């Protein structure tokens, strides 16, 4: 089970970077190399939209994509690092509590960027931005912070128990 | 730690080895060694009770306090 989860996480990270690179290449081309073409598509497809706002939205997204891909990369790598400690019986350690808290911060960063950029996009493009507010990520990161604290307490309790005769 | 364990002395006075005590009170020799060498962070009442019963002593005979 753990070995499979490890493989899935590694594959997801490859997918994360693969999709990231493809999107950056495609949107980067449209936003920076061919903005005229992008504006033409916007004018024909959605005449109500401001074509310049579409170009700015695409450019901003291109700049944010590497940051998002890096944050996802950090989350997946940290999860793999936690999984790697399980077979040796070293999962319940302070180091893993720190890793869990780090994942919570990365997740919080992802959803903070999503919120700020999403609101900015929505204000310019409305429903065409494709963005909608979601609470699940915020709840998940809060849950991870709580779990990290519980984990930390558990580690302290285990340390105490180890010295109990 | 200012708490000192006198298990060695009590064992010597009773002519009993640590291994023997471990077998009698059903606690691993490793755990009993941790207690004997003063490396334990805490002692369960049940452990103390078993040791006192087998060595016919009081908890105060096993533990002492020495200010640092």
Domains and CATH numbers, chain B: 3-65 (1.10.260.40)
Residue A115 token pair: 């919120």
Query: Which residues in chain B have Cβ-Cβ distances shorter than 8 Å to A162?
Result: 41
If you ran DSSP here, which 8-state letter would residue B14 be given?
H
Q: Is residue A130's pLDDT more than 90? A: no
Q: Which of B30, B41, B46 to mutate to test the interface with A (most CBs of A within 10 A)?
A: B41
pLDDT score of B11 = 96
A 102-131 near B (Cβ less than 8 A): none
Choose between A124 and A147: higher pLDDT: A147
- pLDDT tens-digit profile of A3-42? 899 999 999 999 999 999 999 999 999 999 999 998 999 8
Query: Given an 8 Å threshold on Cβ–Cβ distance, is A164 in contact with B27?
Result: no
The domain tally of chain A equals: 1
pLDDT score of A46 = 84
Name the burial class of residue B63, with classes exposed (0-12), middle (13-18) and buried (19+) by CB atoms within 10 angstroms of its CB: middle
pLDDT score of A67 = 98
Query: Which residues in chain B have Cβ-Cβ distances shorter than 8 Å to A158?
Result: none
**Domain coverage including residue A92:** 2-162
Query: Which residues in chain A have Cβ-Cβ distances shorter than 8 Å to B44?
Result: 164-165
> How high is the mean pLDDT in each 10-residue block of chain B (68 residues)?
91 95 93 91 94 96 90
d(CA A142, CA B4): 45
Q: What value of ipTM does the predicted structure carry? A: 0.79
What is the band of A153 on the pLDDT scale with cuts at 50, 70, 90? very high
Q: How far off is chain A from B5, nearest CA to CA, in Å?
A: 13
**Angle CA B21–B24–B25, to nearest 5:** 85
Q: Which of B42, B47, B48 to mutate to test the interface with A (most CBs of A within 10 A)?
A: B42
pLDDT score of A135 = 94
pLDDT score of B6 = 95
- pLDDT tens-digit profile of A62-109? 999 999 999 999 999 999 999 999 988 888 899 999 999 999 999 999
A144, A100 Cβ separation under 8 angstroms: yes
Size of interface A-B (CB pairs under 8 A): 23
pLDDT score of A45 = 85
pLDDT score of A113 = 97
d(CA A102, CA A75): 8
pLDDT score of B59 = 96
Q: How far off is chain A from B30, nearest CA to CA, in Å?
A: 10
Q: Return the H-helix or E-strand segment holding B29.
A: helix B29-36
Q: How far off is chain A from B41, nearest CA to CA, in Å?
A: 5
Report the residue of chain A nearest B42, measured CA to CA. A164
Q: Which of A109, A84, A103 is nearest to A151 (CA)?
A: A103
Q: Is B26 left (phi over 0), alpha (psi -120 to 50) or beta?
A: left
Choose between A99 and A45: higher pLDDT: A99
């Amino acid at each position: 089970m753990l070995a499979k989860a490890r493989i899935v996480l590694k594959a997801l990270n490859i997918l994360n970077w693969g999709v990231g690179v493809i999107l950056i290449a495609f949107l980067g081309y449209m936003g920076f190399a061919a903005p005229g073409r992008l504006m033409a598509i916007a004018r024909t497809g959605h005449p109500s939209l401001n074509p310049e706002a579409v170009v700015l939205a695409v450019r901003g997204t291109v700049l944010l994509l590497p940051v998002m891909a890096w944050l996802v990369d950090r989350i997946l790598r940290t999860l793999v690092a936690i999984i790697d400690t399980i077979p040796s019986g070293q999962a319940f350690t302070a180091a893993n509590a720190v890793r869990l808290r780090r994942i919570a911060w990365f997740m919080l960063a992802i959803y903070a960027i999503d919120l700020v950029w999403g609101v900015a996009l929505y204000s310019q493009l409305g429903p065409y931005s494709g963005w909608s507010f979601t609470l699940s990520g915020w709840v998940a990161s809060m849950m991870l912070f709580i779990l990290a604290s519980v984990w930390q307490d558990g580690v302290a309790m285990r340390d105490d128990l180890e010295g109990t005769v | 730690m200012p708490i000192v364990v006198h298990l060695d002395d009590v064992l010597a006075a009773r002519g009993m080895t640590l291994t023997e005590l471990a077998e009698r009170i059903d606690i691993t020799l490793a755990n009993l060694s941790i207690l004997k060498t003063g490396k334990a962070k805490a002692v369960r009442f049940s452990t103390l009770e078993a040791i006192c019963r087998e060595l016919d002593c009081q908890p105060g005979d096993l533990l002492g306090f020495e200010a640092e």
